[in-house]
Chain A
């Protein structure tokens, strides 16, 4: 039996010491880290073989992850938490932070996703970046990212998690602004990092509060003692963690960086800004389930943020003509689903992770597909310049279609199973939230169909001199692999396997009888999606798509194109007041602070420069002043004596 903590039904983190194959846990992180170090320090000496080394490293980690996963499956349920103490990171007073790793079912699945999808994307990048003179550096950054992401999901305490958390932020920054000679790319990277840092404030504060409350940042200690904390304390902790998660996962209100992040090379968008890094927020919440389970108000906040994000992202996805930005909007929306599930508590955690994995497959697949299309279209991202790409790029088309069917939730495809479960759980929890989730699925159907139609169907609207061609096999093989996963990913849910596998981490939900039978929910979801698809067919498929985006459009479309005014809101509320504060500080410092402190001596100097005029060099005037002085002294003496 798994130990549960006092309050909610959440298991205590109680790992056993790593032995056997688990002794190599550190190597999973060390391999890509070594790759990054060699490629980045080695410089141009590694140009020739750098990309090969960079690809081998995550593959090595993947092999290790698979071996460990198999070993973990062979263990009984209560033995499935393993920890490895590497060394003491820092220790002051009773704060003792170890470089500790924790391997449990949750980390195990993430490891497979990160190293598996990561390896495929590394392979794809060999082809995609073939002509880039800085390819070696690209692989160095990618390896750095993989190492940091692995650190994030393997850490046993919040500070270790934060190390990975910031590491992926750094890698994301470097990769978004990889083509740094483009000012827009450089600005996008900085924007991503800064907005992430706003979220990090929340996570940092949560870490501080964990220490103050529990004297430790270790999952083991906190999960053991969490039941003794008051609900207010836990609610604050939950909200702080949510702020952190919002930053990393591009959830409302910290979503504005994700669309700009599409400035990065497409494999980056696929790996970091779709499959792995942006889902770190969901990981954080599921990992911190011991906090959220005892803080229902924080859970409500998670759900609210999630629902807003589902629609906000979908809205953007419906309006953008840039294929990558439309996909980014969709990512935000899909992560909203995961957050929603995570906010639903024990009943939803497993489904959040399930959807996260499926999304990792199909969204990476579609991003890479989009990259393949761009590759053929001379790096044009405007879908209005596509059309009928299906003929020119059949493999890309088929694989993209697999991802498309998965994301809209076509029965049998991976996304169908995962999204269906979330809608079902949401409906069981609260019918308004459930309806929102259902409606979101319909919108997903609309914007994905729109993308599909504009890209692969309809008339050719290509620019002159563009001759789309299928990408080389080094790019199509990863596409095929991901497409296969998008199709069959649903096997994880057979017999509720994933739910039971994750139970040592997420706990076991009491089974509620849903208000509507599960089959009816599925049917309803499919029907709503069908409406969305039909709408897209009517509005886009049957009409001619203009090559220039029409300007006389409704407010809704305009807002969508402007990313629902996220940047405008940020500028008005934060950036512009911030600029004014900076300008004000400069004036304050120069005029007031420096003025007062340096002004005093300056005034003395000024007075002196006036006073020294008395020394005019004329002996007679000196004599006169002498006389005057003598007179004054004499008169004073007289006055005193006579008085």
Chain B
């Protein structure tokens, strides 16, 4: 089977996520874009697994999902705390940790 379409879609999704992370200020949106990138890579992993005819890629995709879930838990908690203390969800406002 030809997986070109899946890989191209994965690339497009990844690029969208990447641009989103770099340009958006709202922490929630940035977070969603990160998820988009993760899912893009999941898609690529599954597609290549199908092509190779083994389950390695699918297992890797499961790992990514688990890590992403954990990340969401921690990440959302941090965003919530920041929002509570600063009344803002902008990533640029939380820039105190610098030189």
Contact = CB atoms under 8 A, between A and B. Distances in A.
Nearest to B96: A617
Interface string A601-643: 0000000000011011111100110010000000000000000
Interface in B65-84: none
A618 B99 contact: no
Interface in B4-63: 18, 21-23, 25, 30
Contacts of B30: 619
B98 A623 contact: no
Interface string B88-99: 000110111111
A270 B3 CA distance: 119
Nearest to A627: B18
Contacts of B22: 620, 623-624, 627
A632 to B, nearest CB: 15
Contacts of A624: 22
Contact of B98 (A617, A620, A627): A617
Contacts of A613: 99
Nearest to A621: B22
Contacts of B96: 617
A616 B99 contact: yes
Contacts of B95: 616-619
A227 B1 CA distance: 116
A616 B23 CA distance: 16
Contact of B21 (A612, A615, A623): A623
Contacts of A619: 30, 91-92, 94-95
A612 B94 CA distance: 18
B97 A617 contact: yes
A578 B37 CA distance: 76
Interface in A190-219: none
Given A612-B99, A613-B99, A618 B21 contact: no
Contacts of A623: 21-22
A618 B96 CA distance: 9
A627 to B, nearest CB: 7
A630 to B, nearest CB: 10
Contacts of B21: 620, 623
A633 to B, nearest CB: 15
B95 to A, nearest CB: 3
Contacts of B91: 618-620
Nearest to B25: A620
Contacts of B25: 620
A617 B94 CA distance: 8
Given A627-B18, A627-B22, A620 B99 contact: no
A627 B44 CA distance: 19
A451 B81 CA distance: 103
Closest 3 A-B residue pairs measured CB to CB? A617-B98, A617-B95, A612-B99
Interface of A: 612-613, 615-620, 623-624, 627
15 contacts: A612-B99, A613-B99, A615-B98, A616-B95, A616-B98, A616-B99, A617-B97, A619-B30, A619-B91, A619-B94, A620-B91, A620-B92, A623-B22, A624-B22, A627-B22
Given A620-B92, A623-B21, 15 more contacts: A613-B99, A615-B98, A616-B95, A616-B98, A617-B95, A617-B97, A619-B91, A619-B92, A619-B94, A619-B95, A620-B21, A620-B25, A620-B91, A627-B18, A627-B22
